Structure 1
């Protein structure tokens, strides 16, 4: 039995767990619990749809071992993450195959790990080769969508690739997206130079998501139309946002939250340098990068070009809340039950009887950040 404060209602509750699920949630009568300030907050576990690594463990660093993948997932438990989609980015065909196979090995070696790794996010190599839109991805390995090649990677992953980020401006994109949709893989628009018409065609073909909208984009765009407006305006697209305070200005975040509503999601896009000391680093994808004391990560040769995020989902929740862009429970939902709902995970039911016991106990610090005290996955306390 867990006694805590409900993250959304603010009321004291008792949570009962059995067999990996929440069996009951009951309100604690006034005077029947510890003082509210002594109780932790109970909230659904975080679900990260886009994460490249953490604390020196990199899903794109070869050779990648199952042990390294598992170590990274265990470190994420301390950040309140109970499900994630390790992200493998643009690289040569063999490197991608090796990376997804190692992630699959980690899943096969441990049932708990298999539950925490809800799928793999393949970000590239089917993206735009243009500067700006390509971001920090290596242009040498960018290529048009290729279903046979993707199927090879999918076999190596044991069918675990659940999200593919691509640019719809390739002639092959529309048919590729149709095949993704038919096979249960979410095609996500990102790192694109597509026209508005190509965006619309991609959505008609089955694209369902926008990858870190507002990033992986040209520095200069036509006033209108452009691919940002088109994705914001299409109600069928879920919208992923990096709210670390560096990737997007508050004005963009505010607009995206208002127009997307319940389809606005937070992702970390964290790379292996998240949780590391500030300084210069050499990375396997992107080369030389700099991590500032404030947490901004950029390419050493181009300070204007971000090289991923060094912040976790809890930082995004705090940024939205501290900026008055969302109430804390709403911001937490954007990083937990909402991404779970998009991906069809049972944890989308959150703190309700019958839902998986994927939850965290936390306290909020003075700067608004969540300090994770305990993390439960399928009823097992993993942190």
Structure 2
């Protein structure tokens, strides 16, 4: 059977120089730096890594249906996100177990889904019940941290690792975090009204991430101290940030990235099922009537309140330079290498890496120029299944 050989060319997002990559049977055969004559707006980057995504293209990870999972993953891979961490949100104990089981069924029966899903993220139900901090999570199902419930999730999801978001102000949260980390779970802080002391205690227990920092917090906070400053100041916490241009303004986003340092923050989409859909009015299970505008802003119909994120990680990569003045290289690093390292620490290695001879291919080729608010995806190269 003849070998499947493909050569792709573009500018490296890491160096800006032309790069040619030859792939044979899903493995990188050669990488020639400085070779070729790539157009100035054609780029090559590792596949994007999204640690927080709820759905895409009309498909939802929270429907409890394996087909929904596989179709959402396929649509996201087509947009360059080759490592998809499905996010399951607050529900009853049974609902959440059904949603996790659906993801695992999809992984077991569909090889492309298995190749793209390295872990799961559980956002809730151990969140703040306070309005504003809770966001769109159903207050009827918000509950205190429960190690037995966490162990039940692990049994369903094994061998995939779990990332779990928790509000650290719950009584007993530091002990829960210590037990969870000892079980191999990555703990992230979010949807919270915690004070700095409670955040410090959570870090002492082993919490290592911040969930969509700057969101999932009350609208009104003390100038200082507050939970945002406390997380920005903590080098132990790597912060997820939404760069759709709506959840955080450009100045705030730039300040947060600079405060966290070179590898202390990463991009997430937090996209919902309506991401990738045409503009218009929709009815959703959470939020009721919502309006999606042509720029990708999703809000409660007739109001200014956001109803979730409606652009994917590729759009976040495209928008970050215009919002912050930071480089495309920085945006790509925040969507590849940084979340890839987080997955590696959670025992899911090999994501977000630059192409190297002998490695399975994981590459996206796209068109982008300064001012663009989205990437034009030209090719997505992943190992043949």
TM-score by length of 2: 0.91
Matched, 1:184 2:152: no
Change (3 A) 1:286 1:146: farther
Q: Mind listing any 5+ residue stretches in structure 1 that lack a counterpart?
A: none
TM-score by length of 1: 0.92
Change (3 A) 1:248 1:316: same
Query: What secondary structure is seen at the aligned counterpart in 2 of 1:239?
Result: strand
Q: Deviations over 1:123-168 (max 9, x none)?
A: 0000000000001111111000001112112222234352101100
Superposition pairs for residues 226-305 of structure 1, below 5 Å? 226-261=226-261, 262-300=263-301, 303-305=303-305
Query: What secondary structure is seen at the aligned counterpart in 2 of 1:207?
Result: coil
Tell me the distance in 1 between the aligned counterparts of 2:210 and 2:201: 14
Match of residue 138 from structure 1: 138
Match of residue 13 from structure 2: 7
Q: Deviations over 1:263-285 (max 9, x none)?
A: 21000000001111223322223
Tell me the distance in 2 between the aligned counterparts of 1:39 and 1:18: 26
Match of residue 3 from structure 2: none
Tell me the distance in 2 between the aligned counterparts of 1:258 and 1:332: 16
Tell me the distance in 1 between the aligned counterparts of 2:301 and 2:156: 34
> Displaced runs of 4+ in structure 1, greater than 6 A?
none
Q: Deviations over 1:80-113 (max 9, x none)?
A: 0100111110111111011000000010113332
How many residue pairs are counted as aligned between the two chains?
Answer: 373
Q: CA deviation at 1:185?
A: 1.4
Q: Mind listing any 5+ residue stretches in structure 2 that lack a counterpart?
A: 1-5
Q: CA deviation at 1:22?
A: 2.5
Q: CA deviation at 1:219?
A: 0.6
Matched, 1:218 2:222: no
Query: What secondary structure is seen at the aligned counterpart in 2 of 1:248?
Result: coil
Tell me the distance in 2 between the aligned counterparts of 1:162 and 1:325: 34
Q: Deviations over 1:30-75 (max 9, x none)?
A: xxx3x422994211000000000011101112xx321221111111
Superposition pairs for residues 132-171 of structure 1, below 5 Å? 132-171=132-171
Query: What secondary structure is seen at the aligned counterpart in 2 of 1:160?
Result: coil
Q: CA deviation at 1:304?
A: 4.2
Change (3 A) 1:93 1:7: same
Query: What secondary structure is seen at the aligned counterpart in 1 of 2:320?
Result: helix
Matched, 1:25 2:27: no
Tell me the distance in 1 between the aligned counterparts of 2:136 and 2:297: 15
Q: Deviations over 1:227-248 (max 9, x none)?
A: 0000000011001000101000
